């Protein structure tokens, strides 16, 4: 039952937002009483924390699987973007923004973990891209990995980038192109053009 609650809560949080969904609505959509949910989660904050950790683990597992395929680094970046978008349902409800606003402790904890995981992943991608001649040799890998993370977090700020002006998918595509054009060699730019044609 706990897994069913987590699955349904995740679906509803992504579609409607963490703040908007009530425990009553989750119970009702599962056809159970609210008491049943409280048997597994003492309050909504605990449920939100478990759901965000579950989503985070699921995305991390998917990213590890993509990285294990050892594709070229530019293709890898776009594959990871597609995986994240399919998990976050295009972020119509801007879950990260709502998490930050209404559950700041959970947001801070998940952001810290996200930063640690992304640093490893992005640094590996950058080093591999340099080795394959797709990224310029003279880039500062640590700086680029941090600015990449910072930009990824910023495009999810719906006050900076309102979702009625840009879909999250469009923003991610714009940002990846911006990032890669800054670091690619001529050889890398050809690979990037191929990826952009596919999107």
Domain ranges in the chain? 2-198
No. of H helices and E strands in the chain?
10, 0
Q: For residue 152, give the H/E element and its range.
A: helix 141-154
Report the C-alpha gap between 62 and 58 in whole angstroms: 6
Average pLDDT for the chain: 91
Q: Distance between CA 166 and CA 171 in Å, rounded?
A: 6
Taking the C-alpha atoms of 5, 89, 79 and 188 in order, what is their torsion angle to the nearest 10 degrees? Answer: -150
Mean pLDDT of 105-126: 92
Query: What pLDDT is recorded for position 90?
Result: 54
3-state secondary structure of 93: coil
Q: What is the reported pLDDT for 199?
A: 62
pLDDT in tens, 19-66: 889 999 999 999 999 999 999 999 999 999 999 999 999 999 999 999
Q: How far is Cα 27 from Cα 44, in angstroms, rounded to an integer?
A: 12
Q: How far is residue 97's CA from residue 119's CA, in Å, rounded to a whole number? A: 21
Of 60-69, 90-99, 163-172, the one with minimum mean pLDDT is 90-99
Does pLDDT of 113 surpass 80?
A: yes
Confidence (pLDDT) at 99: 86
Q: What is the pLDDT of residues 74-84, one digit of tens each?
A: 999 999 989 98
**pLDDT tier at 92, thresholds 50, 70, 90:** low
Q: Is the pLDDT of residue 93 over 60?
A: no
Q: Hey, is 184 helix, strand or coil?
A: strand
Alpha-carbon distance of 71 to 75, in angstroms, equals: 6
pLDDT band at 91 (very low <50, low <70, confident <90, very high): low
Q: Which CATH number applies to 2-198: 1.10.150.120, 1.10.357.10, 3.20.20.150, 3.90.180.10?
A: 1.10.357.10
Which residue in this structure is represented by tokens 């924390």? 49
Q: If pLDDT is split at 50, 70 and 90, which confidence band does 197 have?
A: confident
Residue 89 has pLDDT above 70, yes or no: no
- Please give the share of the chain, as a percent, with pLDDT higher than 90: 65
């Amino acid at each position: 039952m706990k897994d069913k609650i987590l699955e349904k809560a995740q679906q509803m949080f992504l579609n409607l937002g963490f703040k908007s969904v009530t425990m009553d609505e989750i119970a009702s959509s599962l056809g159970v009483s609210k008491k049943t949910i409280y048997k597994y989660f003492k309050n909504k904050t605990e449920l939100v924390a478990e759901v965000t950790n579950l989503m985070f683990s699921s995305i991390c597992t998917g990213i590890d699987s993509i990285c294990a395929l050892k594709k070229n680094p530019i293709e890898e970046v776009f594959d990871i973007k597609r995986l994240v978008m399919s998990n976050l349902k295009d972020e119509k409800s801007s879950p990260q923004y709502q998490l930050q606003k209404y559950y700041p402790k959970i947001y801070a904890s998940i952001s810290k973990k996200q930063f640690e995981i992304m640093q490893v992943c992005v640094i590996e991608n950058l080093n591999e891209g340099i080795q394959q001649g797709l990224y310029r040799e003279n880039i500062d890998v640590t700086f680029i990995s941090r600015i990449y993370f910072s930009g990824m977090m910023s495009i999810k700020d719906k006050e900076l980038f309102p979702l009625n002006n840009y879909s999250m998918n469009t923003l991610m595509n714009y940002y990846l192109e911006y990032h890669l054009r800054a670091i690619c060699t001529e050889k890398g730019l050809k690979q990037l053009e191929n990826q952009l044609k596919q999107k």
